Structures are given as C-alpha cells and as structure tokens.
Structure 1
Amino acid sequence: MKLSDLKAVEEVIEDRREADPEFQDEWDRTAFAREVAVAVVRYRAGHDLSQRKLAEVTGLKQPAIARLEKGEEAPGLATLARLTRATGLSFRVDIANGSAGLVAV
C-alpha cells in the first residue's frame, strides 16, 4: 500500500462515527476534553516543560496534568481558570444545543 492510498485521520474518524453510534457518542462526549488536551500539550511542548514542571507552574498535581493531556474527561472551570492564570492560555467555552464546546483563543 502506498502512503498516498492512506486516508487522513479525519476521514477515518468520520467513517467510524458514521458506522458506529457508540463511537460517535463517545467521540462527541469527549470533544471538549480533547480540545483542552491539545492546548495543554501544545503549551507544554512549546515551552519545553515536563508534566511535573507544568504542574508546579499551575499549582496542579502532575497526575492532574496527565489526566488533562489524556483528554478523556472534561476539566472543571476552576481547573481551566488555574491553567489560564499560570500559562496565559485563553479558552472560550460555548454551551448550546445540549453540548459544550471549547475554543482556544
């Protein structure tokens, strides 16, 4: 198989969402948490920080940083506030039509 024959990850996910209602529910349920995870990982990598060092900077525990980066459970507003205060990251939360979305700004 050629590299050019491979589907993009977005296509694979969309195919799976269409074919598997349980996957779609879980994917949609964790969207908010994944957005936070991406922002935290990008920040940490961009500032050459370990999880432990980011924990020190934010006042969170290292396991809490690991859970944020895993992206399976949405963090609370207090956790997001601590992240923004310590890192300068900004988030916009959009809650509408029964779902919560997050936009890093």
Structure 2
Amino acid sequence: MPYNGGPMTEAMYYVLLALVNPNHGYQLMNAIKEVSCGRLNMGPGTLYGVLTRMQKEGLISLAEDDGRRKIYEITDDGKLSLLIEYERLKAMVRDGIILEKGDHHE
C-alpha cells in the first residue's frame, strides 16, 4: 500500500529518490546532496530518523545488515509512493503557471 500520510516531507522525497540505487547511511547522505543538486544537506540525525520512520511505513527495507553497515533499498510501495508524490509536485508547479502569466497582484 503506498504512503498515504499526506504530502511527503522534502527529506522523505529525497531519501526515496536517492534509494533508487540501494545505499548505506554515509553514501546516502552524499547521494541525497547529489540528487538535490546540493540544496539538501542532510545530517546523520535527520537521516536516521527519516530512515526509521520510512522503514516502519514499508517505503524502504534493509537490503543488507552486516552489523557494521546497513544498506537500505526502496520497496515497491516506496516506488509507487515516490511516483505519486512526483505527480503531485508536478501538478503544483503546473498550477503555479498563474505567476508567469501576470495574473497576480504585486
């Protein structure tokens, strides 16, 4: 079942984007920075809190845990949820076209 907790946080969205390729914590922080073009620099405390929450919600799972490092991967529900959120964000941008048409008050 896809995520239905309302709009995703920016952190959740970028974690899912970054987990299109399975990754462990430290690499994941770098991957998030990369997929966000440097806009999002997530620290370990935030990252591991988000990972724990998303794991409980079934959006991601542990691909591997050797005791030293945990490798996370996106689940099928996570992929579907990411696509739903992506479509929602695209719709918001389309709705914002009014700002480019000069139909707003300055």
Same fold (TM over 0.5): no
Give the TM-score taking structure 1 as reference length.
Answer: 0.26
Q: Higher helix fraction: Structure 1 or Structure 2?
A: 1
